[in-house]
Structure 1
Amino acid sequence: MKKILIIEDNLSELSRVNDALHFSYSEISIIHFSSFIGVNKVLKNNVFDIILFSFSQISSTKLNKINLIKSYQPSAILIVLSIFDNSETITEMLSLGADGYILQNESYNHLVRLFRDLELDIPAMSPQVLKNLIASLRNKPNKVLSDNLTKRENDVLIQVTKGLSNKEIARILNISSFTVADHIKSLFCKLQLSSRGAVIAYGLNKQQQIH
């Protein structure tokens, strides 16, 4: 059974997300909070598979909550629900530890697809988010993004930055999914990052410096 935490103050959006989650997974348990009050205790006393955190406005206090959530729940998939689609905000949240970013105007069918794709190790990113952050990178020549990494680790980093799943990366690089997973663990260690979203943000920042 998947255990899911939703932090969302918009009841209509909560209902839509809740319905999409129930449609996507056969067995789930959902805990909901309309604000962060009381969330700390729940984070300490539970282990969640997925955490959905809504951002209707940006503040340093709320941004810091991303770090707090990941410190309590390092293995949970943390997905930001937001109205903001500018690349600066998205990159900042990924850098702080978010593993996915879904726009609050996302269609119901897209929500279901994004939630189901988590089972395939595909980051939950709205199509518009991917378009803004990643699509432009696909046709650019691959560059070494970090001198601290081996050639193969750089290859994996470039593909992770494009939002690809482990299986897709394995197919492109002609290696196994298990080898890709090992390289990603190495990226976490060498780059001192704790989430796939943070790796994507790191890669995007490096790409911007190169280009």
Structure 2
Amino acid sequence: MAIFPPEPRMAGVTFKLQDVGASEGRFGGHGGAPSVWPDFLKGQADCPVRVLLVDDDAHIRLVIAQELMSDPRTLVVAQASSLREGRKAIKQHEFDVLLVDLHLGDGEGFELLDYMKTVRPSAEAVVISVMENDDEVLRAFERGATGYLGKNSWFGNYPQAVLQVHVDQPTRHESVEVDRLSDREKEVLRMVASGYTSAEIATNLLISGMTVNTHIRNIYRKLQVRTRAQAVRFASLRGLF
């Protein structure tokens, strides 16, 4: 069984570090890495997860890049400091995960999410922002992001976030019937359908807003939809609640 640190909490989304289902004896340790990593997954010294980093803050970009490059499982293949440079880098470089700031000097990182899905449809994206914003989190998911990180709340774990979203990416052709919603996800979806905001859902269910947003992300993934309206309609038609 894979051993991961306790579930990290951050602005916007909690990445649940789950057992990846490997058998005992198939995991290789990595010196200095925060966890053990299965040797049959991408993210080995000879096959690292490739990252494209886009952030207009040179200092933040340096810190994140150093963390990623210090872990043998992740590799920064390119960096960009603006929307314009980001578009160019997406087109020119092969990568597995886009790590992008939402607020760039010449535009919004959301635009790069759209562009990436056109040019590199198999890649995953994690957006980063200085502060949590409920609308931004949901908008990022609806534009295809897999995760959301607060810049000031999770230093030291960027490699783990990159690895996790790469492992968690759903099988593109998997039937939605195979992966039904959990009872809690159905409960959240019913409240979404009733017009509750994430904050209101959190208050009513006595859970954190970050947990609510994680449930919504999982609902989108399982139903293979990109907006709240699509999720509610699909679930209603399929009798999922």
Q: TM (normalized to structure 2)?
A: 0.50
Unaligned runs of 5+ in 1: 124-136, 147-159, 170-182, 192-197
Query: 2:53 aligns to what?
Result: 6
Alignment pair present for 1:64 and 2:90:
no
Pick from 89, 105, 109: which aligns with 1:42?
Answer: 89
Query: 2:66 aligns to what?
Result: 19
Query: 2:215 aligns to what?
Result: 161
Q: Distance in 1 between matches of 2:160 and 2:120?
A: 24
From the superposition, tell whether residues 122 and 71 of structure 1 become closer, same or farther in structure 2 (CA, over 3 Å).
closer
Query: 1:202 aligns to what?
Result: 228
Q: Distance in 2 between matches of 1:139 and 1:202?
A: 13
- CA deviation map 1:48-95 (0-9, x unaligned): 101111123699765333211221111111111112312111111211
Give the secondary structure class of the aligned counterpart of 2:187. Answer: coil
Task: Indicate if the aligned counterparts of 1:6 and 1:32 stay in contact, CA closer than 8 A.
Answer: yes
- CA deviation map 1:146-182 (0-9, x unaligned): 9xxxxxxxxxxxxx83556xxxx9xxxxxxxxxxxxx
Alignment pair present for 1:105 and 2:152:
yes
More helix by share: 1
Unaligned runs of 5+ in 2: 1-46, 171-182, 194-213, 237-241
Give the secondary structure class of the aligned counterpart of 1:141. Answer: helix
Q: CA deviation at 1:140?
A: 7.3
Q: Distance in 1 between matches of 2:85 and 2:109?
A: 15
Q: Distance in 2 between matches of 1:68 and 1:55?
A: 14
Task: Indicate if the aligned counterparts of 2:101 and 2:128 stay in contact, CA closer than 8 A.
Answer: yes
Q: Distance in 2 between matches of 1:26 and 1:72?
A: 24
Give the secondary structure class of the aligned counterpart of 2:127. Answer: strand
Pick from 107, 130, 141: which aligns with 1:83?
Answer: 130
Task: Indicate if the aligned counterparts of 2:100 and 2:125 stay in contact, CA closer than 8 A.
Answer: yes
Q: Distance in 1 between matches of 2:155 and 2:109?
A: 26
Pick from 68, 71, 74: which aligns with 2:121?
Answer: 74
Task: Indicate if the aligned counterparts of 1:161 and 1:203 stay in contact, CA closer than 8 A.
Answer: no
Task: Indicate if the aligned counterparts of 2:185 and 2:215 stay in contact, CA closer than 8 A.
Answer: no
Counting matched residue pairs gives 154
Amino acid at match of 2:126: I
Q: CA deviation at 1:204?
A: 10
Query: 1:131 aligns to what?
Result: none
Task: Out of 38-47 and 66-75, give the one that drifted further.
Answer: 38-47
Alignment of 1:172-191 (within 5 A): 184=222, 187-188=223-224, 191=225
- CA deviation map 1:6-26 (0-9, x unaligned): 111112211221122124443
Q: Distance in 2 between matches of 1:98 and 1:82?
A: 13
Query: 2:161 aligns to what?
Result: 114
Task: Indicate if the aligned counterparts of 1:5 and 1:48 stay in contact, CA closer than 8 A.
Answer: yes
Pair member with larger Rg: 2
Pick from 135, 141, 157: which aligns with 2:187?
Answer: 141
Amino acid at match of 1:98: A
From the superposition, tell whether residues 105 and 57 of structure 1 become closer, same or farther in structure 2 (CA, over 3 Å).
same
Query: 2:27 aligns to what?
Result: none
Q: Distance in 1 between matches of 2:117 and 2:187?
A: 33
